[in-house]
Chain A
Amino acid sequence: MRKALIVAAVLSAVAIPALAADVGLVKVSKGNVQIERNGTKVAAPVGASVQAADVIMTGADGSAGITFTDNSLVSVGPNTVFAIDKYRFDTTTHAGEFEGSLKKGRLAAISGKMVKASPESMKIRTPSAIMGVRGTEFVVQVDEEKK
């Protein structure tokens, strides 16, 4: 019985990513831009969908711009790794949370409806800090040559 429950729990945990809805759309894609989803990397041209738990990666010549369902706009510059850790947005109440991690590189963003409804519902982590967004436009850089 207990074993069956564990199996069920594991199965449901596995099933969730397959049901994940699109939370954003790649609107700008220049040079080498990839999305890593469930351990697989695929090219991310204009029109590619973005899901919660995706990791956006760019090469030395790459940059990409994404619109999210709450109208947040996020762009990444060259040599960047940006992971979407959490994203949910309720179109009726505008409640939600957006948590991302900038592992390296550059990010620019304009916050959307969820931050307007509840400040700091958008958070960006870097290797040594966490930033809460009260609005509206900001940039973040994480250098690679960190010792």
Chain B
Amino acid sequence: MNLFVVFLLAVLAANFFRAPEKAPELFAVLPARDGHVGAIVVKGAEGPEKVINEAYGTIAINGATQATGTMTAAQVREVFGSTLDALPGSPASFTLYFLEGRDELTPESQAELKNIFAELKRRPLPDIVVTGHTDTIGSLDFNDKLSLQRAQRMRDMLVQMGLPTERIQTAGRGKRELLVPTDDNVSEPRNRRVEISVR
């Protein structure tokens, strides 16, 4: 009787400690680049659905057998290395600032442009959207035009640096989307900007 219990425990232990990557199906949650850990809900043919919501938490399904566990970052790398390397870069966005009432970058932003360009260039086939903004000096109409002019100027600069024009869309939001909320007719450098988003 005791032997039988020991045997049973051994079988349970063997199942428990079995490396999850040996199982025919494996699901794992990974921490995002910003550290955020999400969740997946897995429902096999048998058994209840399981929620996995910790970093490197796994569920392995082998026929009717389901086992939850964890992997190390190195184990994930070993199994999914080339797969993870093929993930396209996450969407990113950058902000550059302009001189008051003009479509000229500030000297600081002009210097920063090189770094942003390098980041855009790194992506094999970037989808870029340049959105221009203004502060609240002037009419709605004036600012709509100025913001679009800033976006188009930005696009021209990126094209001149070597990005294909057909990958860049432009839009002007005028004074409709202030970074720093102000009253009307307020000069605010942080609102005179373009946002460059890339996917």
Contact = CB atoms under 8 A, between A and B. Distances in A.
A126 B61 CA distance: 10
Given A73-B90, A128-B25, A139 B30 contact: yes
Interface string A85-115: 0000000000000000000001111110000
Interface stretch (A6-14, A22-30, A34-42): A22-30
A83 B159 CA distance: 36
Nearest to B63: A128
B38 A65 contact: no
Contacts of A65: 86-88
Contacts of B144: none
B83 interface: yes
Contacts of A67: 88, 127, 199
B25 to A, nearest CB: 5
Contact of B83 (A106, A131, A133): A106
Contacts of A131: 27, 40-43
A76 interface: yes
A98 to B, nearest CB: 14
Contacts of A110: 32, 87, 90
A125 B12 CA distance: 28
Given A28-B124, A46-B124, A134 B41 contact: yes
Overall SS of chain A's interface: strand
Interface in A116-147: 120, 126-143, 145-146
Contacts of B76: 139
Overall SS of chain B's interface: mixed
Given A137-B32, A142-B24, A27 B61 contact: no
Given A27-B123, A134-B41, A77 B83 contact: yes
Interface in B93-118: none
Contacts of B40: 131-134, 138
B31 interface: yes
B44 A129 contact: yes
Given A63-B85, A75-B87, A106-B83, A143 B44 contact: no
B171 interface: no
A75 B86 contact: yes
Interface of B: 21, 23-32, 36, 38-45, 53, 61, 63, 76, 79-80, 82-88, 90-91, 123-125, 127, 199
11 contacts: A28-B87, A73-B90, A107-B83, A108-B80, A120-B41, A132-B43, A137-B32, A138-B29, A139-B76, A140-B28, A143-B25
Given A67-B199, A77-B83, 12 more contacts: A30-B86, A77-B80, A106-B79, A106-B80, A108-B84, A129-B42, A131-B43, A132-B41, A134-B38, A139-B30, A139-B84, A141-B26
Closest 4 CB pairs of A and B: A77-B83, A135-B38, A27-B88, A75-B86
